Structure 1
Amino acid sequence: MTSEFSAISRRSPSGLAGWAGLAPMPLFPTGLVFLVAIVLRQVVPLNTDVSWLLVVCERMLDGQHLYRDIIEINPPMAAFAYLPGVALARVLGVDPRHVIDAQLLLLAAASLFAVSRILRLSPALAGLNGGPFVIWAAAVVTILPMHVFAQREHMALLTFLPALAVYALRSNREPLPLWAILLAGVGAGITLAFKPFFTVPAALCILFAAIRSRSWLTLLAPENIITAVLVITVSVSTYIFYPEYFTVTYPLVRDTYLSWSMPLSVIFLNDATLIFSIAMVSVLLARQKHAPDSLLLVMALASIGFAVSFFLQRRGWAYHSYPMVAVALLAMGYALTGAADRGARSRRLEVVSAFMLAVTFVVGVLWFNVTVYVGPVRQAVEGLMPHPRILVLSGEAAIGHPLVRDIKGVWVSRQENLWVRAFVRLTRERTFVDAATDAKLNDYLALERQWLIEDFKKLPPDIVLVDNLRNEWGAWARADAEVSQLLKSYTFVRSVEGIDILRRNQ
């Protein structure tokens, strides 16, 4: 008996179906894209948050408990996403960053391949000129991220892509094999487990599939049920195994980090919004004479959903915008590379399209390659002693990470940085704080101070970096009797860009 998959495959032209008909033609240039991405991993500095999460995973493997011995602002998925790679790195005896880089590149390749296989199942999407788009898609998921490579948003996008393909087929009421349903359901579930904000793009795509298929039963499609079950399982497991996240971490985050917003100009008037707007307008102009197919509509809706999630986070930070920008550029590339055009395209149109894609891609690369400049701190620290234990008095995470990993040091604090004090300051500056809230914020400050002193005594640092450029941490330390007493056994070495370097007396 002929399988459903085999029957559909015979109806579809081999090679060029969908956005990634992996015919021999695009394989070589796509491979070059991945090669460039590999080279960039050796040149672009390790992301600050990724570096910290590698420290978190190393400590978890050493037996420390998340949210008790390690204070992390995000749900457990943020750490568990990196844990297998860090564990493998220990077995291999290599730096975890290299394993994580390889893991993300393999995930990108697997995600694109899975999408291509899913789209090949669709007669409605058969015969599309996918060759140039394969190269574009590969560049968007491997080169575009630059400094935000391997951030949670990068992972979340890669796991979500197969679900986009399934939503497109589901909207056409086309049959799907079990393997595609499982990939979509599990992938979307992982994406939503990273951040609840990612529910928006998934919900928009699922609702679109139900409306376009003219069946509300599509809302209960098996991939959606799998996603829901996975998200519920992760939430319940967090409550059972990490109750401190709900009793300690989340209230602290809610009352400090989530209580304030960046100015609207920072949230909305940035390169991410510019790229998103250009991409959406380009899609409309390119397809104004053609009825958009289900894949293009799903990508456009997903990008809008990720844009909503980006704006809801109210920070305007580059890595928050990556899913929005990436999916918008995928939709733009799908429209401008002629992937959906059966007929011939004019030479002029191809040149204009190539120019628009190149410009937006360059703007995106520059946007995602922004780093926090902290001066030549590494050069000043790495020669003082081998494998030093390091503590940083600052609310700026980029001072300590990836510095501690670059010089093969040991991170002393249970936190990425002293973020509670930094967020409390912002809360007081940007929101109205009544007496009860002010007292609660003081309690949080006292808790962080207690953590700092405990960490200092438990594992005395060899080097202490004091940030005097941001919020006068040196003055704060001198004004605190216990902290200043702990620092008496340290000698001032030098100051770099407002950061004092103190070395423990031998």
Structure 2
Amino acid sequence: MTVDVDAVARPAPAYPADRERRGPIPWLLVALVFAAAIVMRQLVPLNTDVSWLLVVAERMLDGQRLYRDMIETNPPMAAFAYLPAAWLARIFGVAPRHVVDAQLLLLAAASLFAVWRMLRLSPTLGRTKSDLLIVWAVAVLTVLPMHVFGQREHMATLAFLPALAAYALRSNREPLPLWAILIAGAGAGITLAFKPYFAVPTALCIISAAIRSRSWRVLFAPENIIAGALVSAASLGTYACYPEYFTIMYPLARDTYLSWSMPASAVLLNSATLIFAVAMALMALSQRKLDGLLLAAIMASIGFAISFVLQRRGWPYHSYPMVALAMLVMGYALLDETGPGARPHRVGTAAALILAATFWLGSRWFDTRIYVGPIEQAVAGLKLHPRLLVLSGEAAIGHPLVHDLGGTWVSRQQSLLIREWVELTRERSSVDAATDARLNDYLALERKWLIEDFKKLPPDIVLIDDLRDGWGDWARADAELSQLLKPYSSVGSVEGIEILRRTE
């Protein structure tokens, strides 16, 4: 079945013979890149947020309730995305991180295969003869992410790629079969469900496709309707099943996390924005004609750049969709051999150096981690599969430590982030009396949660962060917390983090 928004019947395009066959070399190179990605997953630690969301998913499987037993400021999609990995890990008795890695690599392969199949429907968009472009795309999606591998932005990028191919076909006024419509619509809907900021690239791609095709009907293409329906269902489902997200979590995030931003220099002047600027400049200098696919990729990269700036943090994982799409655009400009002005011989030295330099820069950017010292080595011998609690606003201390130790996370929070956010809010924004009162209420709520969790499941090991914001002094100044810590004795300190072990 083929659906065309302009209701014009067209015969399916024939596939030229030169597009049917590829030698074994490109597939060998693709296999080598996937092998390199698998090796990197063993060398690069599990991402902090991924580790925490796996904890959330595991607790949900145990029957605990999101936004009550686990406090997460993101919409439910953030937790539901990791439920399959947590469930499969239990079924097969393996570490959840390995299931996440396998799922993301399979998703990358499936996404690229779907894009390839969809572009083959076009007599123009499927013409590329560059094997290196395929290898480049696989590397950007599997190796480049480094420490942000498995983050929601990584998932969203992979899910969004088939929608880009659909927008490219729509901009050419070419029909899409039903399977392509369903995949593109589902991918765009999943992307939008992760973060509202991702509506920007989606809207830019749809509008540019409508303008290029000179048909307003593209705005209401079936895949767009599917994506909108999925997002609406997710929103209504959140309202119906998780009202606490709107009554507790969003007001808390609005008054704390969303009330401040990082300095403009941190958001606008970094490796991610440099790579984006280089890619757009190379695209302009190449004087390549904008076909539907290239236009969609550029619009998506620009849209994700806008969403990156709107989030006002400048954190590497926020920038991954922008950088990945920009690097795919760069690869298209330098490696594709079929566009106007492209040279059908081997890639020049300058192009190879540019691609290698940007890939290295991106890999370093996405491998940024917070060093917390050799905590695992210090804690590993104290208790087998310990119940762990961390008194700190730094999430990287406890995650992925709790998974590496095979332990149990005691707190309902990733870390004591509310205290951290309140301090930043008071430092970086003007706070009136009413807002200040709300901030104090949030601090009291976080303390209440901490004490409840401590009493409900007393930890075997407590880590107190004395390096950042004086958490030890804060705990000792609180009579109830001080009482709860009496059964614990100090066994040492690592990089300013005191290690307490339960002695009773």
Q: TM-score, normalised by structure 1?
A: 0.96
Contact kept? 1:388, 1:409, Cα under 8 Å:
yes
Question: Is the Cα contact below 8 Å between 2:2 and 2:177 reproduced in 1?
Answer: no
Could you tell me how far apart the structure 1 residues matched to 2:42 and 2:19 are?
A: 34
Amino acid at match of 1:310: F
Letter in 2 for 1:266: A
What is the Cα deviation at residue 125 of structure 1?
1.7
Q: Paired residue for 2:264?
A: 264
Specify the SS of the correspondent of 1:224.
Answer: helix
State the one-letter code of the partner of 1:162.
Answer: P
The amino acid across from 2:128 in the alignment is L
Give distance in 2, aligned partners of 1:91 and 1:22. Answer: 39
For the residues of structure 2 that align with 1:443 and 1:3, how far apart are their CA atoms? 54
**CA positional deviation for 1:471:** 0.7
Deviations 1:360-415 (A, max 9, x none): 00000000001000011111111111111110000000000000110111100000
> 2:319 maps to what in 1?
321
> After superposition, what is the alpha-carbon deviation per residue over 1:216-236, rounded to whole angstroms, capped at 9, x for unaligned?
111001010101000000000
| Correspondent of 1:468 among 466, 469, 490 | 466
Residue 223 (structure 1) aligns with: 223
**CA distance in 2 between partners of 1:3 and 1:440 (Å):** 53
In structure 1, C-alpha distance between the alignment counterparts of 2:450 and 2:2, rounded to whole Å = 66
Q: Deviations over 1:144-178 (max 9, x none)?
A: 00000000000000000000000001001001101
Query: Cα 1:14–1:31, aligned 2, differ >3 Å: closer, same or farther?
Result: farther
CA contact (8 A) 2:488 2:500 kept: yes
Q: Unpaired runs of 5+ in structure 2?
A: none
Change (3 A) 1:256 1:339: farther
How far is the alpha carbon of 1:497 from its aligned partner?
0.7
Q: 1:427 aligns with which of 408, 425, 428?
A: 425
Query: 1-side partners of 2:336 and 2:179: how far apart?
Result: 29
Match of 2:165 in 1: 165
- Structure 1 counterpart of 2:451: 453
What does residue 379 of structure 2 align with? 381
Residue aligned with 2:485, SS: helix
Secondary structure in 1 matching 2:348: helix
Query: Is residue 189 of structure 1 aligned with residue 189 of structure 2?
Result: yes
List alignment gaps of at least 5 residues for structure 1. none
Q: Which of 348, 351, 372 is equivalent to 1:350?
A: 348
* Count of residue correspondences: 500
SS at match of 1:125: coil
Please give the secondary structure, in 2, of the residue aligned with 1:127. coil
* Closer, same or farther: CA 347–493 of 1 in aligned 2, 3 Å: same
Distance in 2 (CA, whole Å) between partners of 1:15 and 1:202 is 33
CA distance in 2, matches of 1:102, 1:360: 26
Q: Distance in 2 between matches of 1:198 and 1:378?
A: 36
Q: Equivalences for 1:301-316 in 2 at 5 Å?
A: 301-316=299-314
- What is the alpha-carbon distance in structure 1 between the residues aligned to residue 267 and residue 310 of structure 2? 9
User: What is the aligned-residue RMSD (CA, Å)?
Assistant: 1.9
Looking at structure 1, the residues matched to 348 and 326 of structure 2 have their Cα atoms a distance apart, in angstroms, of 19
Question: Which 10-residue stretch deviates more, 127-136 or 242-251?
Answer: 127-136
- Report the Cα offset of residue 127 of structure 1: 2.5
| Partner-residue secondary structure (3-state), 1:488 | coil
What corresponds to 1:47 in structure 2? Answer: 47
1:366 to 361, 364, 367: 364
Amino acid at match of 2:76: P
User: CA 1:3/1:209 → structure 2, altered by over 3 Å: closer, same or farther?
Assistant: closer
Partner residue, 2:16: 13
The reply to whether residue 411 of structure 1 matches residue 394 of structure 2 is no
Equivalent residues of 1:144, 1:368 under 8 A apart: yes
Match of 2:486 in 1: 488
1:25-424 equivalences under 5 Å are 25-286=25-286, 288=287, 290-341=288-339, 345=343, 350-424=348-422
Conserved in 2, the CA contact under 8 Å of 1:491 and 1:502? yes
Write out per-residue CA displacement over residues 434-466 of structure 1, whole angstroms, 9 at most, x where no aligned residue: 111000000000000000000000000011000
* Structure-2 change in CA distance of 1:309 and 1:339 (3 Å): farther
| Alpha-carbon contact 2:2-2:178 (below 8 Å) kept | no
SS of residue matched to 2:463: strand
Q: Distance in 2 between matches of 1:280 and 1:94?
A: 43
The TM-score normalised by the length of structure 2 is 0.96
The superposition leaves residues 456-501 of structure 1 with CA deviations (integer Å, 9 ceiling, x where unpaired) of 0000001100001111100100111111111111101111111010
The one-letter code of the counterpart of 2:140 is V
Q: Would the aligned equivalents of 1:127 and 1:342 in 2 still touch at CA under 8 Å?
A: no
Partners of 1:14 and 1:389 in 2: how far apart?
A: 61
Q: Which secondary structure state, in structure 1, belongs to the residue aligned with residue 176 of structure 2? A: coil
Residues 1:346 and 1:230: Cα distance change in structure 2 (over 3 Å) = closer
Residues 264 and 99 of structure 1, relative CA distance in 2, 3 Å threshold = same
AA of the residue aligned to 2:391: L
SS of structure 1 residue aligned to 2:353: helix
Matches of 1:346 and 1:214, distance apart in 2: 32
| Residues 1:23 and 1:7: Cα distance change in structure 2 (over 3 Å) | farther
Q: In the TM superposition, what is the alpha-carbon distance from 1:293 to its structure 2 partner?
A: 1.1
SS class of match (1:229): helix
With over 3 angstroms needed to count, the CA separation of the structure-2 counterparts of 1:2 and 1:433, relative to structure 1, is: closer
Tell me, in whole angstroms, the C-alpha distance in 1 between the residues paired with 2:470 and 2:22.
Answer: 56
Distance 1:327 1:124 in 2: 21
**What CA distance in whole angstroms lies between the structure 2 residues aligned with 1:464 and 1:72?**
22
